Amino acid sequence: APADQTGKRTPKFTSVYTDLTKGCEEKGGEEGGHVSTFCKGPGGYQIHYFDAATIYQLNVADATRDWEEPVLSFGLDKLKAVGRVEWRLADGVPFAVAVKDPSNGRVIVRGLKGFERIRFESDGKNAATDAQGGADNEYRDAVLPVEAIDLKGGMMSAVMSGTLVFFDDRKRYVFTGTAGERVTVKIEAAEWSGEEGPVMVGIVRRPNGTTEGAPGGIVFDEVLAEDGEYEIIVSQNAAKSQAENIKFSLSVTRTKGGS
Written as one letter, the residue type at 42 is P
Give the confidence band of 153 by pLDDT, cuts at 50, 70, 90: low
- The secondary element (H helix, E strand) that includes residue 79 is helix 79-82
Helix (H, G, I), strand (E, B) or coil at 34: coil
Query: For the segment 209-255, what is each residue's pLDDT rounded down to a tens digit?
Result: 888 988 989 999 999 999 999 999 999 998 889 999 999 999 999 98
- The secondary element (H helix, E strand) that includes residue 74 is strand 68-75
**Other CB atoms within 10 A of residue 108 CB:** 18
Give the confidence band of 7 by pLDDT, cuts at 50, 70, 90: very low
Mean of pLDDT values over 21-50: 92
- The secondary element (H helix, E strand) that includes residue 84 is strand 84-90
Report the pLDDT value the prediction gives residue 154, as an integer from 0 to 100: 66
- Given a cut of 50, whether residue 2 has pLDDT beyond it is no
pTM passes above 0.75: yes
Q: How many CA atoms lie within 13 A of 175 on its CB side?
A: 27
Residues pairing with 57 in the sheet: 50, 73
Query: For the segment 182-213, what is each residue's pLDDT rounded down to a tens digit?
Result: 999 999 999 999 878 899 999 999 998 888 98
Set out the domains of the chain in order of their start, with CATH numbers.
3-142 (no CATH), 146-258 (2.60.120.380)
- Given a cut of 90, whether residue 257 has pLDDT beyond it is no
Written as one letter, the residue type at 37 is T
Query: For the segment 66-124, what is each residue's pLDDT rounded down to a tens digit?
Result: 999 999 999 999 999 999 999 999 999 999 999 999 999 999 999 999 999 899 999 99
